[in-house]
Structure 1
Amino acid sequence: MYASKYNGCGNDFMIVDYKEDVNYSDLAIQLCHEAEQDTDGLIVVKNNPLEMLLFNKDGSQAPMCGNGIRCFTKYVRDEKLTHHTTIPVQTLAGEMTIDILSTDPFECKVNIGKADYRNDRFNAADHRSYINRTVEIDGKPVTFTSLFMGTVHTVVFVEDAKAMVKSDLGKKLCQHPLFKEQTNVNFVQVVNRKELIVRTFERGVGWTLACGTGCSASFVVARDSDLVDTRVHVHLEKGSLKIEGSDDIFMSGPAVFEKKIKLPIT
């Protein structure tokens, strides 16, 4: 059994073909924590129809990942599992449609779907609105908005998103009792109406270099707050993504193959 390592704007994954009788939660913990790999997650590829299963590095399963599905798409093209340029992919968040824009360098556009602010979509702990809601953490008020955008996301607007990586606020908000199954936390800095800077604390992972669904959620909340236009560039630590849309949300960005390794299982 082989695993391939890919990354999307630095958000990296081990990718394997699906096999019966493999505990993928355990495999994710094993693979993603090895010093040589140290990746954000494990992607399992099912074929006929194409389906993406995603496991975080702590072994938990996630519904979807924007950077992950771009890596998934490049993998299925590299392995010749499809020759199409428009590809439907099944995920736990529903079917996603990916359009391949370029093969060298590889870039694709993903229809992430529609944002959903309903509390029951992200297992909220109560029925109060999670839009512009304020909670006290360490004696200080934190205002946030939560929604479902491929998976659960929480958006916090800050003056300096890069500085938040040195803070433990991401972890504390991620694990706050308001979220029954934790939440991904995105710290968003509005540069202008066409640019955002985003840093994401990902549940089950920690600080990550990039989060495609997080960038999409950040764009939606900024757009709905009339802080940006309907198309933006989102700047990350190792690249940028294009996010756009007024109804369905579309994310465009790269994916890169790094290496293939043989696993000690058949």
Structure 2
Amino acid sequence: MINIEKVHGSQNSFFLLDQTKLVKPLTTTELQNLVIKLTDSKTGLLGGSDGLLVVEPATAPAAIAQMRIFNKDGSQALMCGNGLRTVARYLAGKLHQREFLVQTAAANLRVQQYPDLAPGVPAFSVEIAPVSFTANDVGWHNLPFTKIINQPIPAFSANLKFTALAVPNPHLISFVADIHESHEILGQLGQELNQPNQYFPGGVNVSFAQILAPNKLFVETYERGVGFTNACGTGMSATSLAGHLAYPEQIAADELLTVYNLGGLVKTKIHSRVNGYWIELIGNATVTHQIYLPEKCLHEAEFEQQQVSLVETDEQDAYLKFVSTFKNS
């Protein structure tokens, strides 16, 4: 029997698979087939999820492991901040280390164990990098800009301004007066820019944000390859930096920011360096279920009920108790 986990960061949920445990690791095609079936709310396990996190041996000498991220539609993401926290927790427990490097598609990233957010709510800090503002990295076409920072883009909205950056996932961000009233507009724009279009042919993550108070934000994201999620780690990180660049009097660098989302909250910190920025993302790394199943179920992407054993942890109750302390306010 093989053990996989269901995990979440700010209720952005994933299944976590350690390929080093398998007799025969899954091929990329098998992983794509698996994620489409596993994450579906009807055909998957435990109501599905937002994606699949895959742990594999590192090919970079400084890293202790490699993380690959598969979206619900089978596409691969360069990075996932919420997912990296849960992978960091898994590796910390497996290898008995508190601080190390994890290899991702774009860079080796620093992760470290962080004090619990609340009783029973383990937390990790992860590096979000590299940061780029170029059209080549963010992926826009047919827009008259070399850099987009708090710019009106009439093709997208008659009255909103946008910032575009890659961290390294591409993000398009706008600050709005009321995040709830703007939900439908976000959904429409997110859907348009993640279907065949002339501006972002490779798609883009779209986030709307509201500044609640100095150094406090609320962020909602329409994720490329996924759609609406409870939270997007790279989206909240990118939005923190976009907020600082557009509204430095309200969003400070080198200070902890509180970023609320539909699934809870995270802390971020913008770090500047000679050649640009990196963002620190701090938040929960929660394991909701341990799942035991034959390895062939993974290869075949078939989950017969009698072959799968599900063991629920008590961590979700602890997380929801933590969220209840600020959700209503």
State TM-score, norm by structure 1.
0.91
Of 136, 145, 155, 2:163 maps to 145
- How far, CA to CA, are the matches of 1:34 and 1:265 in structure 2? 17
1:174 CA displacement: 4.1
Q: CA deviation at 1:5?
A: 0.4
Map Cα deviations across residues 167-188 of structure 1 (whole Å, 9 max, x no partner): 4233224444211211001101
SS of alignment partner, residue 163 of structure 1: coil
1:124 aligns with 2:140: yes
Q: 1:46 aligns with which of 42, 56, 68?
A: 56
C-alpha distance in 1 between matches for 2:212 and 2:157: 28
Matches within 5 A, 1:199-218: 199-218=220-239
The structure 2 residue matched to 1:220, chosen from 241, 264, 280, is: 241
User: Residue type matched to 2:237 in 1?
Assistant: S
1:60 corresponds to 2:75: yes
Deviates more, 1:134-143 or 1:109-118: 134-143
User: Aligned pair in 2 of structure 1 residues 245, 131: CA closer, same or farther (>3 Å)?
Assistant: closer
Give the CA deviation at 1:207.
Answer: 0.5
Partner of 1:185: 206
SS of the residue 2:244 aligns to: helix
The SS at the match of 2:298 is coil
Q: Distance in 2 between matches of 1:54 and 1:216?
A: 18
Judged with a 3 Å threshold, the aligned counterparts in structure 2 of structure 1 residues 189 and 91 are, in CA distance, closer, same or farther, namely same
Q: Tell me the alpha carbon deviations over residues 40-89 of structure 1, each in whole angstroms, 9 at most, x when there is no partner.
A: 000111135400000000110000010010111122234x1x11110200
Secondary structure of the equivalent of 2:115?
strand
Cα–Cα, structure 1 residues 14 and 163, in superposed 2: closer, same or farther, change >3 Å?
farther
- Stretches of structure 2 lacking an aligned partner (at least 5 in a row): 20-24, 59-63, 273-277, 300-329
Contact kept in structure 2, 1:65 and 1:150, CA below 8 Å: no
In the alignment, the residues of structure 2 paired with residue 29 and residue 243 of structure 1 have an alpha-carbon distance, to the nearest angstrom, of 31
1:10-89 → structure 2 map (5 Å cutoff): 10-18=11-19, 19-21=25-27, 23-35=30-42, 36-48=46-58, 49-78=64-93, 80=94, 82-89=95-102
Whether 2:249 is the aligned partner of 1:229: answer no
> Is 1:166 matched up with 2:193?
no
Specify whether residues 213 and 196 from structure 1 end up closer, same or farther in structure 2 by C-alpha distance, changes over 3 A only.
Answer: same
C-alpha offsets along residues 132-179 of structure 1, whole Å, 9 cap, x if unaligned?
343345873542111011311111111112333334233224444211
Distance change in 2, residues 1:87/1:138 (3 Å): closer
Report the secondary structure of 1:89's partner residue.
strand
Percent of residue pairs bearing the same amino acid type: 30
Number of equivalent positions: 264
Structure 2 Cα separation of the partners of residues 45 and 189 of structure 1: 35
Deviations 1:65-118 (A, max 9, x none): 10010111122234x1x1111020000121111010136531111111342111
Q: Greater shift after overlay, 189-198 or 100-109?
A: 100-109
Measured in 2, the distance between the counterparts of 1:142 and 1:174 equals: 19
- Whose radius of gyration is greater, 1 or 2? 2
Distance 1:50 1:141, change over 3 A: same
TM-score norm. by structure 2 comes to: 0.74
Contact map agreement 2:173 2:207 (CA 8 A) in 1: yes
Worse-matched range after superposition: 204-213 or 118-127: 118-127
**Which has the larger helix fraction?**
2
1:6 aligned onto 2:7: yes
Counterpart in the other structure of 2:122: 106
**Cα deviation 1:181-203 (Å, max 9, x = unaligned):** 11001101011221001000001
Q: CA deviation at 1:20?
A: 4.0
User: Is the 8 Å Cα contact of residues 115 and 220 (structure 1) preserved in structure 2?
Assistant: no
Preserved CA contact (<8 Å) 1:164 1:199: no
